């Protein structure tokens, strides 16, 4: 029954008859948006629950927790979806698709939920950028064709690039101001001025802990720590992708596809 036996000589298993090719293309164009929206929903919820406040507010984006937590939480779905898209289709798009879907969900959420419904200024509530991390993760997987190499090289790059790519939008918020005789950053000031009733100042975790004690370069140390954890997370979620892909519904769809070809 397998389509593989049909391949003879230079003829590839991927050469479909014109009718089949047309149908297969329709299937592609149907599945891509559905996949995109499904990832948006699931990944966005996952991300909000685990990295929520750090990503919601400009005055939570510190040099330790934000830098550590965001890439660790953000590499999960990309790793799992990379497994499916790479192992079954050799499409190195898993990370980019996930991150674009996440950012799409975030912008929808920030615009409708935070700006329109709750009335917060967008300057307080913008999401962090992650696309550079995703592009590199996909490129590394494609070039090495190996998930272990991607875990060792790509996952740390994913984390190291996270803070670096956001400097360009975060820097203006770290200009100092004097307010009520005290030194504050503009980000602190934005958070102070626009009242979040349920998010008092002390809930922020600003550079707490001891990592900074060697050298003062908190952001760099946090990035390297995140890079290390991202290797583990990438591996774990790649394996989770493998488990998820064995689920019956996926299998039945592709078994059917194989039958169609036969």
Nearer to other proteins, 36 or 236 (CB): 36
Contact between 97 and other proteins per CB under 8 A:
yes
**Which tokens go with 236?**
């774990």
CA–CA separation, 156 vs 218, rounded Å? 17
Contact between 260 and other proteins per CB under 8 A:
yes
Task: Specify the DSSP class assigned to residue 126.
Answer: P
CA–CA separation, 25 vs 124, rounded Å? 43
Q: If binding means CB under 8 A, how many residues of this protein chain bind other proteins?
A: 123
* Positions in 151-210 near other proteins (CB under 8 A): 161, 164-165, 167-190, 192-202, 204, 206-207
Contact with other proteins (CB under 8 A) among 9, 18, 119, 215: 119
Nearer to other proteins, 126 or 234 (CB): 126
Contact between 249 and other proteins per CB under 8 A:
yes
Closest to 135 measured CA to CA, from 102, 158, 167: 158
Rg (CA), the chain: 22
CB of 173 to other proteins, least distance (A): 6
| φ, ψ at 104 (rounded to 5°) | -60, -50
Contact between 14 and other proteins per CB under 8 A:
yes
* Positions in 221-240 near other proteins (CB under 8 A): none
Nearer to other proteins, 112 or 228 (CB): 112
* Positions in 42-71 near other proteins (CB under 8 A): 42, 44-45, 48, 56, 58-59, 61-63
CA–CA separation, 141 vs 94, rounded Å? 10
Closest to 83 measured CA to CA, from 25, 14, 159, 141: 141
């Amino acid at each position: 029954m397998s389509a593989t036996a049909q391949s003879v000589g230079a003829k590839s298993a991927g050469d479909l008859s014109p009718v089949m090719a047309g149908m297969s293309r329709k299937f592609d164009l149907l599945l891509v948006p559905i996949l995109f929206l499904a990832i948006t929903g699931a990944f966005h919820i996952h991300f909000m629950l685990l990295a929520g406040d750090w990503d919601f507010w400009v005055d939570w984006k510190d040099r330790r927790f934000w830098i550590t937590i965001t890439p660790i939480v953000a590499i999960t779905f990309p790793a799992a979806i990379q497994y499916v898209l790479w192992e079954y289709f050799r499409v190195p798009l898993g990370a980019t698709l996930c991150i674009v879907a996440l950012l799409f969900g975030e912008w929808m959420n920030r615009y409708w939920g935070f700006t329109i419904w709750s009335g917060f200024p967008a300057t307080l509530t913008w999401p962090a950028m992650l696309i550079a991390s995703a592009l590199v993760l996909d490129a590394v997987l494609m070039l090495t064709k190996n998930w272990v190499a991607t875990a060792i090289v790509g996952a740390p790059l994913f984390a190291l690039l996270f803070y670096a790519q956001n400097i360009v939008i975060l820097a203006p918020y770290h200009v100092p101001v004097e307010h009520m005789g005290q030194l504050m950053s503009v980000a602190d000031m934005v958070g102070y001025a626009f009242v979040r009733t349920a998010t008092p100042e002390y809930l922020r975790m600003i550079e707490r802990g001891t990592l900074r004690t060697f050298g003062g370069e908190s952001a760099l140390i946090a990035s390297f720590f995140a890079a290390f954890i991202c290797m583990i997370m990438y591996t774990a979620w790649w394996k989770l992708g493998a488990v998820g892909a064995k689920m019956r519904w996926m299998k039945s769809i592709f078994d059917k596809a194989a039958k169609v070809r036969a």
